Amino acid sequence: MAEHPRALEGIRVIDFSWIAVGPTSVKYLTNQGAEVIRLESTSHLDISRRIPPWKNDIVDINNCGVYINYNEDKYGITLNLRQPKGQELALRLISAADVVVENFTAGVMKRLGLDYDSLRQVRPDLVMCSLGLQGGTGPEASLPGVGITGQALAGVTHLTGWPDREPVATNVPYSDYTAPPFAALAIIGALEYRRRTGKGQHIDISQSECAMHCLETAVLDYTANGREQSRQGNYVPYAAPHGVYPCRGTERWVAIAVFTDEEWDGLCRTMGNPPWTAEPRFATMLGRLRHVADLDRLIGEWTRPYMAEQLVAMLQAAGVPSGLVASAEDLHSDPQLKHRQHFWELYQSVIGWHTVDGPAFRLSKTPAELKRGAPLQGEHNETVYREFLGLSEDEYVQLMVDGALE
């Protein structure tokens, strides 16, 4: 692919963040051309370097899929922030940076002497983004937590699962992936404000508050009607059928959602108008909602003999909203994703050639371009400390001996 300018070229980001939420937020900036220096510590290992999957099941901190999928194109360095010399190096890096991102528990950066008030002394127009689980202020700001607690605090877990069973958390740290778009947008907004005024600012983001935006009408229903929504499985009160139905093969499913009588007619025609579709109880949306358990069972009996791909094609041709319940294998072979070049193939010396997710949006004048895989731990120490900061060889070696680069 030909070289071209990207939207954020010339912006330098110092990435203190770890696990998923911060690195994912910064990934959006990296994909658009920002130069990102990611700080890690050998003595306090990033949790994402310990989470499977590992290629060929070889456990290695540089072979971890979670880390690799969110840190491409970044410069990776190690730095001991508990040492005064490490803190001094961090300040030198920040003095030549535009953006700082961190997602530690509230108060950690202040204890390290790297809070916003301290950092703007060395870079007055700095944009800093903090991604605490519950934000940086308030009575619970300093409480630690992870993805499963974030989605629980946000009310997501209360709504996830089946009405006759206990709440079920999502299998991924939900708030870690709802917060990054908010963070990236806020950072770009702050950079635009800085461009116009010459002033930086501190962005305080609550991961759990970001996740609350995905509750749909739960909060509104409570404030307007005093009604507590709860777990409903795939049921919604405005569409029937609305669920996933089995197809031929192992773990093959199709999602079907019918919102209008026209879509219901299309579904009936696709099914060959079996006699049960003419029963009065299924004639209207309200009737189908009242008898949704029977409706789901009957539709599941019809879908089971079909290949999922075949069924989706039939339903979509009849104007019925439907889709394959895609696995990772399905996604990698999906013609739509291939057309949009969603997956990028990159190289990293330990994992080799692999694919990562590209951005879900396309900028027509400044498209994203992913170039290299995620860094090995400390891979760019010499580049950053010697070339970017201009340390002499003796200074660099002494810092290593002193443990400041651990």
Taking the C-alpha atoms of residue 348 and residue 357, their distance in angstroms, rounded to an integer, is 15
- Within 10 A of 174 (CB to CB), how many other CB atoms are there? 24
pLDDT cut 90: percent of the chain above it: 94
Please indicate whether residue 164 is annotated as part of the active site.
no
Residue 145 has what pLDDT?
A: 86
The predicted-structure confidence for 238-270, as pLDDT tens digits, reads as follows 999 999 999 999 999 999 999 999 999 999 999
Split at pLDDT 50, 70, 90, the class of 1 is very low
pTM of the model: 0.93
- The 3-state secondary structure of the chain reads CCCCCCCCCCCEEEECCCCCHHHHHHHHHHHCCCEEEEEECCCCCCHHHCCCCEHHHCCCCCCEHHHHHCCCCCEEEECCCCCHHHHHHHHHHHHCCCEEEECCCCCHHHHCCCCHHHHCCCCCCCEEEEEECCCCCCCCCCCCCCHHHHHHHCCHHHHCCCCCCCCCCCCCCHHHHHHHHHHHHHHHHHHHHHHHHCCCEEEEEEHHHHHHCCCCCHHHHHHHHCCCCCCCCCCECCECCEEEEECCCCCCEEEEECCCHHHHHHHHHHCCCCHHHHCHHHCCHHHHHHCHHHHHHHHHHHHCCCCHHHHHHHHHHCCCCEEECCCHHHHHHCHHHHHCCCEEEEEECCCEEEEEECCCCCCCCCCCCCCCCCCCCCCCHHHHHHHHCCCCHHHHHHHHHHCCCC
**Domain segments of the chain: what residues?**
12-214+340-402, 242-332
Least reliable range by pLDDT among 163-172, 224-233, 292-301, 305-314: 163-172
Q: What confidence score (pLDDT) does residue 170 get?
A: 86
At residue 296's C-alpha, the angle toward residues 292 and 302, to 5°, is 145
What is the chain's alpha carbon radius of gyration, rounded to the nearest angstrom?
Answer: 25
In tens, the pLDDT along 137-162 reads 999 999 888 888 999 999 999 999 99
Per the prediction, the chain carries an average pLDDT of 95
pLDDT of residue 147: 84
pLDDT tens by residue, 93-139: 999 999 999 999 999 999 999 999 999 999 999 999 999 999 999 99
pLDDT tens per residue, range 8-21: 999 999 999 999 99
Residues 46-85 have pLDDT tens digits of 999 999 999 889 999 999 999 999 999 999 999 999 999 9
In this structure, what are the phi and psi dihedrals at residue 247, rounded to the nearest 5 degrees? -130, 180
d(C-alpha 391, C-alpha 384), whole Å: 9
- Give the C-alpha separation, 152 to 157, whole Å: 5
pLDDT tens readout for residues 374-403? 999 999 999 999 999 999 999 999 999 999
- Domain at 12-214+340-402, CATH homologous superfamily: Crotonobetainyl-coa:carnitine coa-transferase; domain 1 (3.40.50.10540)
Instruction: Tell me how crowded residue 354 is: count the other CB atoms within 10 A of its CB.
Output: 18
**What's the pLDDT at 3?**
62
Q: Are 129 and 100 in contact (CB under 8 A)?
A: yes
pLDDT band for position 24 (cuts 50, 70, 90): very high
Mean pLDDT, residues 85-93: 97
Distance CA 116, CA 114 (A): 7
Residues paired with 37 in a beta bridge: 14, 75
Residue type, 337: L
Neighbours of 317 (CB within 10 A): 10
What percent of the chain has pLDDT above 70? Answer: 99
pLDDT of amino acid 32: 96
Q: Which two tokens stand for residue 306?
A: 């079909």
Higher-confidence residue of 174 and 40: namely 40
Catalytic residue chosen out of the listed positions 176, 296, 334, 394: 176
Confidence band, pLDDT 50/70/90 cuts, at residue 2: very low
CATH for the 242-332 domain, from 3.10.580.10, 3.40.50.150, 3.30.70.3000, 3.30.1540.10 = 3.30.1540.10
How many beta carbons lie within 10 A of that of residue 220, not counting itself? Answer: 12
